[in-house]
Structure 1
Amino acid sequence: MNGPLKMYRTRQVVRHDIAVQLPDCMYKLKNIHAARNGMVEQRTDHVSSAPKKVDICDQNNQNLPEMAALELRQEEILRQLADLKKQMDNIRNNLQISKNAAVTSQIIKPKQGPPPSLPDVIINASPTNPPYSLELVQKLWKNYMFLSVKSYTHSSLSSLTENAQQLTKTLESFKPGNVPKINVKLIWKDVGANPELVVAHSRIFGEVNILRYLARVTSDYLNYETCNNVHEIDALLDVCYNIVKSKTKTERASLLQVLNKSLGKSQWLGDRSQISIADLAAYSAIKQATNPSEVNVNLGKWMQRCVACQ
C-alpha cells in the first residue's frame, strides 16, 4: 500500500461554534476549566474574577460596627499607658531611683507595743486532740500578756483523757508576771480534731487558725505576716493541719518529712533564729497525732527546745 491511509470521518455530534441561548432562570456557574491553575479567562461572560482578599479586621468591621469603636478605645488606652509610663520615668528620675535597684530582703519586725484590749474568748476542744500550743503561748507571752485559762467539761463527756487532764492542770497553774490578761474558757467537748474559737459570736475552726487569730490581734513576734518567708510559714501551718487530719502512718510520715526538711540544721522551722507560730502549731500537731517512734532525732531535739522555750 502506497501513501497515507484515509481516516473515516465521523459525523459531528456536538457543535461549539454556535451560540446557545440560556434561560434567565438558570444559575450561572463559574467556568471550572478556565479557572484551572489560577488562570481565569476574562473573555467568558459566565466567569467572575477572583474575589479580593479581605483582612480579618476588615471583615469584622464590616460585620460588627462596634469593632471600629473598640479599636478607637484600644488606641486611647495604649496612649494613656504610654503617658503613664512617661510620668513614672519622670518620677523615677526626680527621685534618682535606679531601674536595677536591688530589692531588700530584710525582715521587718513588728513593733513591740502595749498589749491590746481583747475580748474574752471561748475555745471548744476535744479531749482526744488537746490544743498543746496554748501551753507554749502562755510561756512566750509571760512578760507580755497572760492567757488566763479556765477549763470546763461539757455534759456530753463522762470523763477526760489523761492528756487533757494534764494540759488543763498546766494551763490553770501557770503563774504570769504583772501583765494584762485574756480570759479564755477552755470547754472540753466532742468537736473532732479541729478546736473552735468563739469570739464576739463568731467561730474560728482549727488550731492553726486560732494561732493566726492570736498572732494577728497582738503585736509581738508571733505575728509572722511582716516576714519575708510568710508564704513558707503559711505552708507549714497547712502541713500541721494535715498532720492532725491524717489517717495513716504513711501519710503522717510524708508530712513529717516536710517539717524535717524545713527544720534542717536550724533551731526553728523555716530557717528562723526565733520560735514562730509554725513551731507552735507543729509541736501541737505532732504531740496529738503521732507516736514517739514516728519522730526522728532531729525533730525530737526540736520538740525539746519547744518545751524549754521561754
Structure 2
Amino acid sequence: MPMYKVKPVSPADIKIDLPTCMYKSPNLHAQGMNCGEHAIQNGEVDPALKALEERQDEVLRRLYEIKATVDGLAKTVSTPDADLDASTLSRGPAESVFRGTADLDSLLGKDLGALRDIVINASPACPPLCLLVLHALLCQRYQVLSSVHVHSSVSAVPPPLLSCLGPRHIDSHARQHFQLGFTLIWKDVSELQMKFNTQSMCPIEGEANVARFLFRLLGAEPQDPVAATQMDCWIDTAVFQLSEGGSKERAAVLRSLNAALGRSAWLLGQEFSLADIVCACYVLRAGQTTSAPVNVQRWLKSCQNLGHFDCVYPLLQ
C-alpha cells in the first residue's frame, strides 16, 4: 500500500504533439534544387548565407596575411634574434642580363598569401659578395623585401655592411606587397648558413651552395648538362682554390681563367652565368685584380660595367 496518493493534475487522455527534430531547414536535395548551392528562398540565394560566405572569404584573406607575417617573424627569431634592425630594399641599377622567365610558384610551390623568406647568417669578417650580386639580380625579377640585422654575437659592424642591400623601401612595413623576403644577419658563424623553409627544408651551408639556390630563383640555370657541369666546376674552383688555396693555386686558377676568357666573353661562352658571378667575386676578394692577366682584367671590367657589382666594391675598400 502506497504511503500517500496524489491526484493527477491533467486528464489522462491528453495528447501531445512531440517534434521529431530539433529544428527544421530547407531540403537541399529536393527536386529542381542543386545540392551545390546554398539554401534558396523564392528562387534566390538566401542573403544571410551570402553575407556569411563573404565574411568567411574576408576572414580567410586576413588569416593568410597573418600567416605570412608570422612565418617571416618565426624564421628571423629562429636564427636566433637579431639586435639591430636596418630594413633595406635595393633594386638593381642596371637592366638584368638574364632573359629567361621565372615564377616563384612554379619554382618553390604555391603558398597562398605567404611571403617566401630567405634568412642568411654570415660573418662580417667574410662578407658573401656573390650573394649581394644575386640579391641585386633578384630585385630586378621580383618584389624583394630586404633587411639587414646584427646578432648579439657580433660587437661591431662597419657601416657599409649595414647598407649593403641598398636604401630602405618606403613600403617595408607591408609584407603582403612583396614576393620574396631577403634577410641578412651578421653573426659570428664559421660557415655561412641559409634558412628558407624551416618546416620542410634543412639549412643550406656554404656560400657557393646558397648562391646556387638563389641563382635557380632567377630561372637562368643552364639547361645543357655540359654547361651546367662546367658552371659547377668553375664555382668549386673559385671556392676551394681561390679562397682556400695558396699563392701557387691562385696563380694556376688565374691562368685557367685567362685561357678560358681568351676564347669567349664569359666563362660559359656568350652567356653571363653564376660562374662569372662567383669567380669574379672571389678574384676581387683575393685582391688579384691588379696582378691578373689581361683577359681576366678585361672580364672584371665587363662585370663591373653590368652594374650588378656596384654593391661589392664599397665592401672591398
TM-score (norm. length: structure 1): 0.54
What residue is the counterpart of 1:112 in the other structure?
101
Offset at 1:265?
4.1
Aligned-partner Cα distance in 1 for 2:263–2:164: 31
What residue is the counterpart of 1:263 in the other structure?
261
Aligned-partner Cα distance in 2 for 1:284–1:248: 17
Partner SS for 1:262: helix
Aligned-partner Cα distance in 2 for 1:159–1:249: 31
1:132 and 2:129 are equivalent in the alignment = yes
- 177, 187, 197: which is aligned to 1:200? 197
What amino acid is aligned across from residue 259 of structure 1 in structure 2? L
Aligned-partner Cα distance in 2 for 1:292–1:230: 27
CA gap of 1:196–1:295, structure 2 versus 1, over 3 A, is: farther
- Does 1 or 2 have the higher relative contact order (CA < 8 Å, sep 6+)? 2
Offset at 1:236?
0.5
The question of whether the paired residues in 2 share the 8 Å contact of 1:136 and 1:309 is answered with no
What amino acid is aligned across from residue 112 of structure 1 in structure 2? T
Aligned-partner Cα distance in 2 for 1:240–1:225: 22
Partner SS for 1:284: helix
Aligned-partner Cα distance in 1 for 2:293–2:144: 32
Q: Number of matched residues?
A: 193
Partner SS for 2:281: helix
Q: What is the alpha-carbon root mean square deviation over aligned residues?
A: 3.0
Identity of aligned residues (%): 26
The question of whether the paired residues in 2 share the 8 Å contact of 1:144 and 1:180 is answered with no
Aligned-partner Cα distance in 2 for 1:136–1:248: 26
What residue is the counterpart of 2:146 in the other structure?
149
CA gap of 1:280–1:219, structure 2 versus 1, over 3 A, is: closer
Report matched runs for 1:17-166 at 5 Å. 112-116=101-105, 119-161=116-158, 165-166=159-160
The question of whether the paired residues in 2 share the 8 Å contact of 1:123 and 1:185 is answered with yes
What residue is the counterpart of 1:210 in the other structure?
210
Partner SS for 1:120: strand
Aligned-partner Cα distance in 2 for 1:110–1:301: 24
1:172 and 2:169 are equivalent in the alignment = no
What amino acid is aligned across from residue 282 of structure 2 in structure 1? A
What's the CA shift string for 1:225-275, capped at 9, x where partnerless?
A: 44642211111111121145424222221222222222224221122x221
What amino acid is aligned across from residue 294 of structure 2 in structure 1? V
The question of whether the paired residues in 2 share the 8 Å contact of 1:233 and 1:278 is answered with yes
The question of whether the paired residues in 2 share the 8 Å contact of 1:146 and 1:182 is answered with yes
Gaps of 5+ in 2: 1-97, 171-176, 308-317
1:309 and 2:303 are equivalent in the alignment = no
Aligned-partner Cα distance in 1 for 2:125–2:276: 21
CA gap of 1:146–1:260, structure 2 versus 1, over 3 A, is: farther
CA gap of 1:175–1:135, structure 2 versus 1, over 3 A, is: farther
What amino acid is aligned across from residue 103 of structure 2 in structure 1? P
CA gap of 1:149–1:134, structure 2 versus 1, over 3 A, is: farther
The question of whether the paired residues in 1 share the 8 Å contact of 2:194 and 2:204 is answered with yes
For the pair shown, the structure with the greater C-alpha radius of gyration is: 1
